[in-house]
Structure 1
Amino acid sequence: MAAGFYLSWRATRLDRLHHRVETARAALDAALLRRGSAVLDLVSADGLPADRARALADAATAARRAPEGERELAESALSRELRSVLGPLRATAHLRDHLTEVAGAARGVQLARTFHNDAVVDTRRARRSRLVRVLRLAGTAPLPDFFEIDDEPPAPPTGSDTL
């Protein structure tokens, strides 16, 4: 009887860990979409030079439309583009709110990715147990994957009224 209770507890724990991964992945997807929207709002704010705005818009659109297998690369490219465009940028009063929104969204992506990858670590650790593998307590749930992107946020622009 105790063995049955223990096995039931382990299976329930695995189920909760898999649910945690799914929830964290949904939060990560939402954070990535929020960052892409913030970038597109910044681009449409009419304060960036045309070449910088075009590069950011292209990167944000590519990240949003990337198929699942290529999404990590596209999101990393958007992160790099944000750093290259916003790093040397001097913030104007007109752009300051948009830049704050982009910076907040970039921090949100960083946090969401950390939570997701931590959930994946915990789930993989629980699934490595010999008992879980032998008795197939994880059922048919696929082994969760990490989401690895370059998510370093851009440096805050300097506070001048010129670009």
Structure 2
Amino acid sequence: MVILIVGIVVVLMAVYISWRAGRLDRLHIRLELARESLDAALMRRRAVVLELAGARLLDPATSLVLAAAAHEARIAGPEEREHAESDLSRALRAAVDQERFREKLSESPGGRDLLDELDTAVAKVVYSRRFYNNAVAVTRTAQRRWLARTLRLAGHTEYPDFFEIDDNPPATMATE
């Protein structure tokens, strides 16, 4: 009888440990997908900003500032990426929040379409970063649990890092 009870307990523990390991694996997959989505959103925002800067719809100084910020964000290494993306956000806010910027651009041929693309790209960055940081928080919590640490259910995987950038949209853009 004792052997039966011990056997049942061992089986239940094995099932629970297997379930926790599977959950941790699914969280890592979710984290990778969220990171890819964030990378795609940031890339799309850079592309739209470069398109806007090269469209000859803006004054030369604004075009140069936007193009330089987008280029720096594109070539930034992993260590400088958050800073470069924040700089792009600030440059974008400075340009778009100029007086009558949206009205002037909307009146230009193709300007309305560029504004719509820019609004969409900026909103996707905001949402993608939220989803990614949420996935990081949930994954870190799961990795820090006693069972996951003791049995090394995450293997030698490091804790994922949050992606912290200044992604506040320009005041004239409605993202929410």
Q: TM-score, normalised by structure 1?
A: 0.93
Amino acid of the residue matched to residue 103 of structure 1?
A: D
Structure 1 residue 155 corresponds to structure 2 residue 171: yes
| Cα deviation code 1:43-77 (max 9, x no counterpart) | 12111000000000000000011001110000000
Deviation, 1:96, is: 2.0
Deviation, 1:156, is: 2.7
Q: Which residue of 2 aligns with 1:161?
A: none
Structure 1 residue 91 corresponds to structure 2 residue 104: yes
Give the Cα–Cα distance (whole angstroms) in 2 for the partners of residues 18 and 80 of structure 1.
Answer: 31
Larger-gyration structure (1/2) = 2
Aligned-pair identity in percent equals 50
Structure 1 residues 13-162: aligned runs within 5 Å: 13-88=23-98, 89=101, 90-92=103-105, 93-94=107-108, 95-156=111-172
Aligned structure 1 segments of 4 or more residues deviating by more than 6 angstroms: none
Amino acid of the residue matched to residue 128 of structure 2?
A: A
**CA RMSD after TM alignment:** 1.1
Deviation, 1:4, is: 0.7
Count of aligned residue pairs for this structure pair: 157
Give the Cα–Cα distance (whole angstroms) in 1 for the partners of residues 51 and 81 of structure 2.
Answer: 21
Higher relative contact order (CA 8 A, sep 6+): 1
Amino acid of the residue matched to residue 130 of structure 1?
A: W
Deviation, 1:91, is: 2.9
Deviation, 1:127, is: 1.2
Unaligned runs of 5+ in 1: 158-163
Q: TM-score, normalised by structure 2?
A: 0.86
